[in-house]
Chains A and B, each alone.
Chain A
Amino acid sequence: MNENPALIETRALVKAYDLLVVLRKLDLQIQRGEFVALLGPNGSGKSTLLRLLAGLTRPTSGTILIGGWELPREAAAVRAQIGMVSHRSLLYENLTARENLRFFARLYNLNPTTDHIDTLLRQVGLYKRGDSLVRTFSRGMLQRLSIARALLHRPDVLLFDEPYTGLDQDAGRTLDNLLAQAHSEGHTIVMTTHELDRAARIASRVLILSRGTIGYDAPASQLPPGELAARYGELTGMVVIQ
């Protein structure tokens, strides 16, 4: 018996849209507490993989297990274990930050206490803007509030789909800190990004997705300088300018 079963596991996972095969028999195991950066060019299947793990789309074939529950058959059990942050905010612009969090708390059958919501707003640095309408928020603030929404139900797994899109350097650094904090609190994180340097710096493991399969898989801490860019270039045919 496996002493340390993976929190996230895919076996021979295939996703195709009509004739276009996006993921080809993808086998992946992610242990509890890992911070995985998923790299790859546009169209390589990163976002598709995240949507499959989030239960937002069904696999064409193969198996997805999250915490031992199989998707999509046991999706109801999996949903409460997953939080997702995308490049879109998944927030309602005509509600305030607090109202958004209260709404999602009710959907997750949580008691939307002021304390819990205030703690989250403080954690993402939005406590003072809690009663402001979300439509007045900058891109960076939206992204921080999205993280608060994703953390609301204390999920085991956090999925980030290109969370740095549209952020300036300051907002990017703030997001780095929030991700590091979430990782240190024990959340398992899977993040798609195009930023190789950032991935190598903040993640514990990097994967390069190429032509629908995992082309490269290495612990981030053991990467020699330039290795990731070189392998990314080899696998994708792209020249990486550093």
Chain B
Amino acid sequence: MNTPFWQAAFSITRKDLRAELRSRELVNTMGLFALLSVLIFSFALELDRVARQEAVSGVLWVTVVFASILGLNRSMAMEREQGNLDALLMAPISRSAIFAGKLIGNFVFTLVVGLVLLPLMTVLYNVPLMQPWVVVLLLLGIAGFATIGTLLATMTVQTRARESLLPIIMLPVALPVLLASVNASTAVLNNAPIDDWIAWPQLLAVIDVIYLTLCFLLFEYVIES
């Protein structure tokens, strides 16, 4: 009776991407924030080469996290503004398909920002961020943020203080992802032996699976209450 899961999920993602390509609201907001953030940190750390090397991974992840929060708020606001969430809820689709569709879109938008940051920060900080392992960590970390962020943005979008509420509730919940991502990428950028840090991306993958499972299970309850 329900529309096939992936047909519904991909339709929602495709709709989000198409709307974004046209309006560029998300990418402009997230991109501008990310650019300003790395520029400000670059000026602050300009004179201290060692501090720059140590801090670059933190700057990358803090920028990605806050840019993703901006994107998540906007992405869910799009569903709220004209009552579109009601239209999605009235369609014969699984609630999990709505979650999957929004999650994939949020993941793609944040990943684009993260991938643009790598060459930009390589130039500004003179630290080689364009490495395969950094990209893998970016994929794993952003998957975690996008998963928990999509669920929490669905909860906060109906509240009046949604813009400020999302970071307040998301950062503590996303802390394990942030810790694992920062530690792993710091080790990669400092050329530490792989045995010293491989546990971090493994932990990140496990956290992602746990978050994905929990969020899929909780989404129906969250969206209907």
Contacts and interface: CB of A to CB of B under 8 A. Distances in A.
Interface residues of A, number: 28
Given A90-B86, A93-B82, A95-B18, A109 B3 contact: yes
A171 to B, nearest CB: 18
A83 to B, nearest CB: 8
Interface of B is mostly: helix
Interface of B: 1-4, 7-8, 11-12, 14-15, 18-20, 22-23, 78, 81-84, 86-93, 224
A55 interface: yes
A77 B2 CA distance: 8
B91 A108 contact: yes
A88 B1 contact: no
B104 to A, nearest CB: 15
Contact of B23 (A90, A94, A104): A94
A149 interface: yes
A107 interface: yes
Contact of B86 (A76, A86, A106): A86
A76 B12 CA distance: 18
A54 B82 CA distance: 17
Interface of A: 54-56, 58, 76-77, 79-80, 82, 84, 86, 88-95, 99, 103-104, 106-109, 133, 149
Contact of B87 (A76, A80, A99, A104): A104
A107 B8 contact: yes
A98 to B, nearest CB: 12
Contacts of A77: 1
Given A80-B1, A106-B7, A107-B11, A88 B91 contact: no
A89 B84 CA distance: 8
